[in-house]
Chain A
C-alpha cells in the first residue's frame, strides 16, 4: 500500500516571499503520479500541480513548482511570490495508474500568508 507523509502541520510565510512545502511518499511502484491540491477555507479543493514519475523535468504552473526527487521519494511544492489568496491547506497526493487507480492523500499542511 502507498503512504504519503506531510510532516509539517503548519507553515507561515510573508506575502511576496517564497515557501516550500514538503512531502514524502512510500511505494514499490515505478510508474505513478503525484499531485498537490489546495483547499482554501471555503473547503473546495482544487488541483495545483501534478507530476508524472517517468518525467525527470519538474512540473511548473506559474508561481507553483515542484522538486521531484524519485530516488528519495520526495515531492516538495515551492510557492513563489506568495499571495494572501494562497492561504489554505495543501495536500500532497499519490496515484498509481491502472483501472483501480485512486488518490491517496497526506494529512495536509496549513499555510498562512501574512500581509
Chain B
C-alpha cells in the first residue's frame, strides 16, 4: 500500500512569491492534516480536514495561507506571498478517522526555503 505522497520534496523561492504544496493521502483515509515543522521543533497543526470539510483551521494564518481538499482526497496548501519566516518543513498526514485510536500516517514533507 502506498503511503502519504507529498510534492515537491524541496522548494526554494524568493520572498513575496507564491508557493503550493500537494498531498495525496493513503487511499480511504478520510482525515487529512497539514503540519508546520520548524527546525529543531515538533510539528504544529495548521489545518485538519474531515473529508472535504476543514474542521480545524484555527492555527492557519489566513492572511497568507490557504488550503483546499477537493473531493475529499488530494489536498493543496498555498502560501501567497511567502515570507522569510515561512522557511520550514510542511508535513501532510492522514488517518482513517478522527481521534486518538486512528494512527496518523505522515508523508516525507516538503522543505521550503524562502530567500
Contact = CB atoms under 8 A, between A and B. Distances in A.
The B contact surface, by secondary structure, is loop
B107 interface: yes
A43 B108 contact: yes
A100 B42 CA distance: 19
A100 to B, nearest CB: 6
Contacts, number: 51
B99 A43 contact: no
A46 B91 CA distance: 12
A46 to B, nearest CB: 7
A43 B42 contact: no
Given A101-B99, A102-B48, A44 B41 contact: no
B10 to A, nearest CB: 11
Interface of B: 3, 40-45, 48, 55-56, 89, 91, 93, 98-100, 103-104, 106-109
Interface of A: 4, 9, 33, 42-47, 50, 52, 91, 93, 95, 97-103, 105-108
Given A98-B99, A103-B45, 14 more contacts: A9-B40, A43-B109, A44-B3, A44-B106, A44-B108, A44-B109, A45-B43, A47-B103, A52-B100, A101-B98, A101-B99, A102-B45, A102-B56, A105-B42
